[in-house]
Amino acid sequence: MSDVVPFAERIRRGEDGLSSSGYRVGYRCAITQAVLIQLEIPAQIVERTVLDQLSVVPRMTPDGMVSADFSEQTDRDIGDLLEVAVTPISELVARSMASGNLRLEETRTSDLEALRNQLEQSLGTVRDALAMVASSY
C-alpha cells in the first residue's frame, strides 16, 4: 500500500460556512494525513469544467415514467453518473397545465395546441407499439 494518497476537498469560507470559494487538491501521507503537496483551484473553474463534461439525457420508460440521466461526455462509455427522480408523464403534464403555471409562463392558445399535437402524435406512437407487441404474441 502506498503511503501517499490523492485528496480533493472543498474550501469553505464565509460566514455561513456553506459557500465554496474553491477546491484544494493534492497528495497527503496516508498514515499521518500530512499534506505533501496541494493546489487551490477556484470553485468556478472546477464546477464549470465538471458541468461542461456532463449531459442531461431525458428518458421515458414504456409505462410513462419520465426521468433524466446525467452522464459524462467522453469518447469512452463510462455509464450513468447520477439518475434523478422518476416522475409519471401524466404528473408532468398536470403540473404544466396548472392555472398558476399557465399564467406564469404566459401560455398562449398556440402553445397549448402545439402540446396537444405532440401528445396526439405520441399517442399514435404508443398505439403502433401496442399493435406491434400484440402481433408478436
Q: What is the pLDDT along the chain (137 residues), one digit of tens a residue?
A: 578 889 888 887 665 555 568 888 999 888 898 888 888 888 888 888 877 777 777 777 777 778 777 766 655 444 444 556 678 888 888 888 888 878 877 888 988 898 899 899 999 999 999 999 999 88
Q: Is the dihedral of CA 15, 20, 26, 32 positive or negative?
A: positive
Q: Give the pLDDT score at 15.
A: 59
Q: What pLDDT shows up at residue 125?
A: 93
pTM, full prediction: 0.50
Asked if 57 and 69 count as a contact pair (C-beta separation under 8 A), the reply is: yes
pLDDT of residue 78: 45
Confidence (pLDDT) at 14: 61
SS3 state at 126: helix
Q: CA-based diameter of the chain, in Å?
A: 68
* 70: nearest Cα among 55, 91, 58: 55
Looking at residue 83, what is its pLDDT? 52
Residue-level pLDDT at 129: 94
